[in-house]
Amino acid sequence: MAKEQTAVFGGGCFWCIEAIFQRLTGVKQVDSGYMGGQVDNPTYKQVCEGDTGHVEVVRVTFDPDEISYRELLDVFFTVHDPTTLNRQGNDVGDQYRSVIFYTDEEQQRIAEDVIAEMTAAKVYPEPIVTAIEPATKFYVAEDYHQNYYNENSRQPYCMFVISPKLQKFEKKFAEKMRA
């Protein structure tokens, strides 16, 4: 068995992408948190104010024997809009930017290849603005952000924003979902 690996993605509110990656076979753990800023131990309030430079991200621990990094990228690009700068739906600010934080050169190469392939295939009508950056220190978000959708699925944001993303995901990736 291969050693577990880590991937870090920012694609809007971390509650949205956490809920999706949690449902993938081969994903062992998903942690919501912050990366890419200049403030140590940022709080949600600080990040939302936009002064820290951090992005809301998910850290995905996965088994590459069960799901590849490329497959994780396929999911990532399906469940958010990589063509909007610093915005996903009504969530606006650089903390919601589309970014891939790579943990090694292979992840960087794969991410660059995937974006180049999607650009050449004109998958999106607008240019992809997803940044590819080296991973920096990951700060775990406050406890109430962890497993958010699973514990709050009846909350309005979950029903109107996350649930439709899950439906889109389930339709395209049914074979990759946990039983």
16 is catalytic: no
Of 61, 56, 49, 53, give the one whose Cα is nearest residue 24.
61
Of 107, 86, 105, 103, give the one whose Cα is nearest residue 95.
86
The CATH H-level (homologous superfamily) assignment of domain 5-171 is Peptide methionine sulphoxide reductase MsrA (3.30.1060.10)
Supply the mean pLDDT for the chain.
Answer: 93
Domain ranges of the chain: 5-171
pLDDT tens for residues 37-80? 999 999 999 999 988 999 999 999 999 999 999 999 999 998 89
Of 13, 16, 48, 158, catalytic = 13
Residue 155 CA from chain centroid, whole number: 21
φ, ψ for residue 116, nearest 5 deg? -65, -40
177 pLDDT more than 80: no
